[in-house]
Amino acid sequence: MDFLLDKEHEQIRQLVRDFADKEIAPGAAERDEKEAFDRGIFDKMASLGLTGIPWPEQYGGAGMDYLAYVLTIEELARVDASAAVVLSAHTSLAGWPIYKFGTEEQKQKYLRPMAEGKWIGAYGLTEPGSGSDAAGMRTTAVKDGNEYVLSGSKVFITNGGPAEVYVVFALTDPSKRARGVTAFILEKGMPGFSIGKHEKKMGIRSSTTVELIFDNVRVPEENRLGEEGFGFKIAMMTLDGGRNGIAAQALGIARGAYEKARAYAVERKQFGAPIADLQAIQFKLADMATKIEAARLLTYQAAWLESKGLPYGQASAMSKVFASDTAMQVTTEAVQVFGGYGFIREYEVERMMRDAKITQIYEGTNEIQRLVIARNLLNEVRG
């Protein structure tokens, strides 16, 4: 068992770290304050080949693996979780189902420009009355000749608005619930497809989160993703991989907060000595570093399993739960290390703490992930 990154992975880590420090970190606080999405950052990611890391070169990607992808998300989130979630949703949630289930024509038409960074992708599953109960959705898709007519809405859509491509789920047979869900690829600007409410959020404020509205949107049959009734499986399989991205995001947030707290502890003096000399602070830093290392190992393992084509659903659920809980714990302790200054927006740990909270919620709340993990463990015993 080798825990060392190879040369290729070290290179991508260093490339993204340098990019994040030079291009993303300087304006992160201002973008958060203004709640401003910056398309230019995504364009710069594209110029470095980051918008298609795990996709083959024949589809405009970099031809790397999912470990390279989570390393990228981690390094971005270390300085700005919003930038990380934009790329994560674009890749894991919008790109993955097209790559996995799309036809060759769909991959060339949609995945290629997404991988090249010309288009941004988004994923539409959640509805106002069916958050984690995806099978309870109400958006419908009625077949009409060689088209489907979509009616309904989706909420909490990351990248909604700027995105050009949307993977959307709707009921083609409401009587079958989960077995009646079908996936579709929608394009920005389709008649009847509009952007509704823009959410005002606690964290990740420089990424967009919006409502999608479908008012009799006519979607060509060739834009159906997979077979009719297979959409729920596509959605659930997509979320398995999406959790790897969330775990990496949480890991990056935790690392960023820990590094800020450690540096501050050495610089800040109280009673004539750095607070880093206080055992109470040393214990905090030790616990923070230990939890981050454990989260890193879980996250990298899940990404490695996905890269090898091995089952990774359980591993991704575990990594998501542990890394996101770690992010919340570490950022909270980082604010504590900073004392009163940690509560002030001038110091970045305040933003990191706000950003960390969402990692415990989206891609399936941690409570649901624990249920999934427990059921799998118990099924192993029950047979």
Counting residues of the chain whose pLDDT is more than 90, the rounded percentage is: 92
* Annotation marks residue 363 as catalytic: yes
pLDDT digits (tens, 9 = 90+) for 141-187: 999 999 999 999 999 999 999 999 999 999 999 999 999 999 999 99
- pLDDT digit string (tens) for 197-256? 999 999 999 999 999 999 999 999 999 999 999 999 999 999 998 999 999 999 999 999
Q: Is the pLDDT assigned to residue 76 strictly greater than 90?
A: yes
- Confidence tier at 134 by pLDDT (50, 70, 90): confident
The helix-helix angle for 313-338 and 231-267 (nearest 10°) equals 30
The mean pLDDT of 285-299, rounded to a whole number, is 98
Burial of residue 380 (number of CB atoms within 10 Å: 0-12, 13-18, 19+): exposed
| Catalytic pick among 350, 363, 367, 380 | 363
H or E segment to which residue 85 belongs: helix 81-88
Is the alpha carbon torsion for 295, 264, 20, 324 positive or negative?
A: positive
By the 10 Å C-beta count (0-12 exposed, 13-18 middle, 19+ buried), 179 is classed as middle
Task: Give the pLDDT score at 132.
Answer: 64
Average pLDDT over residues 269-283: 95
Give the residue, 82 or 135, on which the prediction is more confident.
Answer: 82
Residue 17's H or E segment, with its range, is helix 7-19
Centre a 10 Å sphere on the Cβ of residue 129 and count the other Cβ atoms it contains: 10
Q: Which residue has the tokens 């989160």?
A: 209
Higher pLDDT, 383 or 308: 308
Residues 321, 367: Cα–Cα separation, whole Å: 9
Q: Indicate the length of the chain as a whole number.
A: 383
Averaged pLDDT for residues 303-323: 96
Indicate the average pLDDT of the chain. Answer: 96
Residue 165 has, within 13 A of its CA and on its CB side, a CA count of: 28
pLDDT recorded at residue 6: 94
Q: Could you tell me which of 117, 123, 118, 120 has the C-alpha nearest to residue 51?
A: 117
The reported pLDDT for the residue numbered 21 is 98
| Residue 1: per-residue pLDDT | 67
Q: How much is the average pLDDT of 286-291?
A: 98
